[in-house]
Structure 1
Amino acid sequence: MRHLLGADYAAFAASYEQAAHIGLRVNTLKMSAADFISKSPFTLTPVGEYEPAGFRVADETQPGRHPYHAAGLYYLQEPSAMAVAALLDPQPGEWVLDLAAAPGGKSTHLITRMKDQGLLVTNDVDRSRARDLAENLERWGARNTLITSSTPQQLAAHFGPLFDRVLVDAPCSGEGMFRKQGGFDWSENMVLACARRQTAILHTAVSLLRSGGILAYATCTFSPEEDEGVIGRFLAEHPDFSLITSPRFAGFAPGQPGWLPDDVQLPDTEQLAQATRFWPHRFAGEGHFVALLQKSGDNRLVQSGKLNQSPHPTRAEQQLWQAFARDALQVELDEERMVVSNGRYLHLLPPNAPDTTGLYVLRHGLPLAELRKNHLKPAHTLALALTADDVAHTANFAPDDPLLHAYLQGHPVPHNGPNGWLLITVDGFGLSWGKCVNGQIKNHYPRGLRR
């Protein structure tokens, strides 16, 4: 980096003596940024006009342990990472793919930008990381998502050019994470291996994007081999793609055409300046690279030939759901879109959800309930998608109420209300289900989330 940055290197190196930046992005599917500011127990500093719902926050306030976080009112995301979905800018009603999505921060941002309208397919090939992805999206309360754990090649063979926008948040050498995580096992060989893998993923992503669609390539590294090098090679091999200019906000720096490796033959190297770099000495964040690529064509969407083939609930299963909804809910959910997975899990599919037969699917839309022999247990995910206005019975707590903290630790709490299912809320926002039995709420907060 000393050779590449020249006179800028001293400022770059000095930035690593400073603390890492902690970002907080408000879930505007649940509340406005202005409403959150009025309720926030934290001191918030706006990240910039590129993301009006994004703020910097002091780490010592432990925002990840606050009940608002458990209720999905915000996601903790490094400020430069917030720029990726902001630059891709998906629109309501579009079909969007996040190809390497774990742990899910950018997916929560994408579905928020989409206003939870359309379809987000969010994928990670690693099953363990895909479960983390599912947990973060579930806490967000999003409904119109499919969560998969398949290879890019499997997705391409299954879906074809189905998506309006594709995000490739590529696995990388992570130089932008050094301040936060240290240098771990970085090496030049690792950089070259990452560049090869990134190139392969991009080549596959091409076949998932419709004509006229936009692909965002992002890394959290400063390595030219993984940034300008990967994009330069891609453009040289895919003349049907072109770089499009990213908006320039304060602290956004251009890509570096002069850093293109000598072995890449690109007729117009200056177009690489249309990519965006985030430097820790110029932008209050850890560092990212983002390039927006548009596929030529007539903007015609090629729709999938088959809709989702998952089985619908039996009559007896429908009756279990209807009995629960009649007693517990004040909102109606479209029973025509309800399906059953693995023989016992009831989900609400997104409208016109595509067939996923043959793919490994963790979540089909919004989980509703686990079906049992003569009853059902409502899904924790459903609780996080609801507010106090959506249900018949609630137990509402202030975020500092000792009873709420006891519940989050897994304890039952007293409650003066009718027997049956109720929604545990914090300031009116869904947090968990509870079941009131004779003046006491039996705890149904998931064991893995208790603290």
Structure 2
Amino acid sequence: MIPVDFKERMKSYLGEKEFEDFFSSFDNDERYHSLRVNTLKCDKEDLKSKLSYIKTEVSWEEKGFYYDDAQPGKHPYHEAGLYYIQEPSAMAPVHFLEPKPGEKILDLCAAPGGKTTQIASYMNGEGILVTNEINRDRAKILSLNVERLGIKNALVLNEDSAHLSEVFEGYFEKILVDAPCSGEGMFRKNDNAGDEWSLDNVRTCAVRQKEILANAAKMLLPGGRLVYSTCTFSADENEETIFEFLFANPDFHTVKVEKTGGIENGRIEFISDELYEKYSLIDAVRAEKCREEVLNSLRLWPHKLKGEGHFLCVLERDGELTRENANSYVPGGRNIAARPECTKVFEAFVKDNLSFDKKTFEIKRGKIFCNLEGGRSLNGLMYMFGDQIYLCPEDMPSVNGLKVMRGGLHLGTIKKDRFEPSHALALFLTADDVCLCKDYPSDGSEIKSYLNGQTMKITDDTPDSTYSQVKKDSKGWALITTDGYSIGWAKAAGGMLKNHYPKGLRINY
């Protein structure tokens, strides 16, 4: 049910005629469903050839595709992390953030992980991605999605923005603030979204957003880029928040960007006369400049494009961003390297189970250099988190003093004199990276049995795919793949594959 106060406010924003077009979109049964291809694990053209229902590209995201009459969440490819099901308008903020490999990027309000995984796909495993969620239960979901999509360079945190601004002051080159909001843009998508909505809640959200945005600004380097976004229509949470932020932070300015697919500019007429007059009394020239800069913000209207309601603004901090100031320090110092007795256990696993360039392979003082045959690498610093061993970029900030959900790529568990690989490592690897691999077709019953946790029988008389090397007499860790895409581990022994798919993720088809 759409709240009456919401309708009245939107009518005052848009005027009678446009409001009718806007509100008619709420009665329209047509909804736009989309997914974004995870290019860390697969080529988008290859996936398009295998999934006939993804064809039309999302205008503002080259990796995003609309789909109809399908349930991609129930396909084995979803568990293999080949895509992320994401609302099309929600893909826009990262497009304008323009993440690149090698950068230091923060996704401040990141759960459930759509924008984090989108950023990671553009970073291509290079650089440092700090991704944070204040709610612990949602942070767990964020961490699982980082794992599912095979991301190796992410530090997943469960912190509040104030603490992060103290630890990471002046550290990031790019920051995304997809702020928690009143969620008005989800009214069409979710029938219950309006039940908890009120004008008071809108104002409460706006106060919280201003605090989060102020904390985020402290963490951005001079010359860095910050994208602020919401999925709401409220000017209090959008144009007015940007206006007040600019007035309070004269070293920031908005960026005029090229629009596509029906995206429009924000509207300065949404800024109330009372708010504008309040700041004009302080500095009339500055107030007018800030109001004009709000015009560079962007609106995604559901009656004008193929997506739900969204707002975003691209901000940059004055100054020049150079590699010298971007690499000036590591917050908290570097992590402490794993002890030799731990790295030796992992080294034995690598030599027994992975396919790698033996000429360049080296582990020294916790640092590993390992180029895998599939084109990926296990390069970086290995460190311990209890009995768990992680791989992180050498200059990843220390995990000490932080509430960490995932600190880089989880390699596995050290169990006395042996190593047990993690599910995260399986999802990172490819069929070419391992000595043993067993492939099951995505449309067959075998892969469903595997995802259900069943032990699998090895039969040599069954024609194997190009990717399979497991035979009846095989022993050791085998990477399970579906149509060549990694999905989990099994242990080969005695003509059987003991299932190591995590119990908490198993599916009953």
- TM-score strictly above 0.5: yes
Deviations 1:317-356 (A, max 9, x none): 2222122111111136874034333321111112321223
Question: Which amino acid in 2 is paired with 1:230?
Answer: T
342-351 or 160-169: bigger deviation: 342-351
Correspondence for 1:125? 134
Correspondence for 2:337? 312
Alpha-carbon distance in structure 2 between the residues aligned to 1:200 and 1:409: 45
Alpha-carbon distance in structure 1 between the residues aligned to 2:122 and 2:267: 29
Correspondence for 1:42? 53
Alpha-carbon distance in structure 2 between the residues aligned to 1:163 and 1:306: 11
Structure 2 gaps, min length 5: 1-9, 280-286, 368-379, 460-470
Correspondence for 1:394? 437
Correspondence for 1:267? 288
* Counterpart mapping for 1:205-244 below 5 A: 205-244=216-255
User: Could you tell me whether the CA contact under 8 Å between 1:308 and 1:356 is conserved in 2?
Assistant: no
Asked if 1:292 is matched to 2:291, the reply is: no
Q: Secondary structure in 2 aligned to 1:258?
A: helix
Deviations 1:377-410 (A, max 9, x none): 1010011111100100000111011111011011
User: Could you tell me whether the CA contact under 8 Å between 1:21 and 1:79 is conserved in 2?
Assistant: yes
Correspondence for 2:353? 328
Pick from 386, 394, 419: which aligns with 1:376? Answer: 419
User: Could you tell me whether the CA contact under 8 Å between 2:334 and 2:395 is conserved in 1?
Assistant: no
Alpha-carbon distance in structure 1 between the residues aligned to 2:487 and 2:458: 16
Alpha-carbon distance in structure 2 between the residues aligned to 1:298 and 1:27: 32
Pick from 32, 49, 52: which aligns with 2:62? Answer: 52
Question: Which amino acid in 2 is paired with 1:348?
Answer: L
Correspondence for 1:142? 151
User: Could you tell me whether the CA contact under 8 Å between 1:309 and 1:357 is conserved in 2?
Assistant: no
* Counterpart mapping for 1:339-418 below 5 A: 339-416=382-459, 417=471, 418=474
Question: Which amino acid in 2 is paired with 1:393?
Answer: L
The structural deviation recorded for 1:139 is 0.9
Identity of aligned residues (%): 40
230-239 or 6-15: bigger deviation: 6-15
Alpha-carbon distance in structure 2 between the residues aligned to 1:146 and 1:209: 17
Correspondence for 1:164? 173
The structural deviation recorded for 1:200 is 0.4
Deviations 1:243-284 (A, max 9, x none): 101221021011011001221332222221211100111011
Q: 1:13 to 1:334 in 2, by over 3 A?
A: farther
Question: Which amino acid in 1 is paired with 2:300?
Answer: F
Alpha-carbon distance in structure 2 between the residues aligned to 1:230 and 1:137: 30
12-21 or 215-224: bigger deviation: 12-21
Q: 1:398 to 1:203 in 2, by over 3 A?
A: same
Q: 1:305 to 1:32 in 2, by over 3 A?
A: closer
Asked if 1:440 is matched to 2:496, the reply is: yes
User: Could you tell me whether the CA contact under 8 Å between 2:334 and 2:394 is conserved in 1?
Assistant: no
Correspondence for 2:91? 82
Alpha-carbon distance in structure 1 between the residues aligned to 2:435 and 2:502: 22
177-186 or 67-76: bigger deviation: 177-186
User: Could you tell me whether the CA contact under 8 Å between 1:152 and 1:204 is conserved in 2?
Assistant: yes
User: Could you tell me whether the CA contact under 8 Å between 2:399 and 2:407 is conserved in 1?
Assistant: no
Q: Secondary structure in 2 aligned to 1:136?
A: helix
6-15 or 420-429: bigger deviation: 6-15
Q: 1:369 to 1:308 in 2, by over 3 A?
A: farther
Alpha-carbon distance in structure 2 between the residues aligned to 1:165 and 1:344: 33
User: Could you tell me whether the CA contact under 8 Å between 1:307 and 1:352 is conserved in 2?
Assistant: no
Asked if 1:280 is matched to 2:336, the reply is: no
The structural deviation recorded for 1:374 is 2.8
Alpha-carbon distance in structure 1 between the residues aligned to 2:211 and 2:332: 29
225-234 or 337-346: bigger deviation: 337-346
237-246 or 317-326: bigger deviation: 317-326
Q: Secondary structure in 1 aligned to 2:189?
A: helix
User: Could you tell me whether the CA contact under 8 Å between 1:304 and 1:354 is conserved in 2?
Assistant: no
Q: 1:219 to 1:375 in 2, by over 3 A?
A: same
The structural deviation recorded for 1:9 is 1.2
The structural deviation recorded for 1:357 is 1.9
Asked if 1:3 is matched to 2:12, the reply is: yes
Alpha-carbon distance in structure 2 between the residues aligned to 1:160 and 1:270: 29
Alpha-carbon distance in structure 2 between the residues aligned to 1:28 and 1:435: 28
Correspondence for 1:20? 31
400-409 or 352-361: bigger deviation: 352-361
Alpha-carbon distance in structure 2 between the residues aligned to 1:415 and 1:271: 65
Q: 1:420 to 1:287 in 2, by over 3 A?
A: same
Q: 1:347 to 1:252 in 2, by over 3 A?
A: same
Alpha-carbon distance in structure 2 between the residues aligned to 1:431 and 1:315: 30
Alpha-carbon distance in structure 1 between the residues aligned to 2:188 and 2:384: 43
User: Could you tell me whether the CA contact under 8 Å between 1:317 and 1:371 is conserved in 2?
Assistant: yes
Alpha-carbon distance in structure 2 between the residues aligned to 1:359 and 1:107: 19
Deviations 1:128-156 (A, max 9, x none): 11110010111111111111111111111
User: Could you tell me whether the CA contact under 8 Å between 2:337 and 2:384 is conserved in 1?
Assistant: no
224-233 or 411-420: bigger deviation: 411-420
Correspondence for 1:450? 506
Question: Which amino acid in 1 is paired with 2:310?
Answer: H
68-77 or 350-359: bigger deviation: 350-359
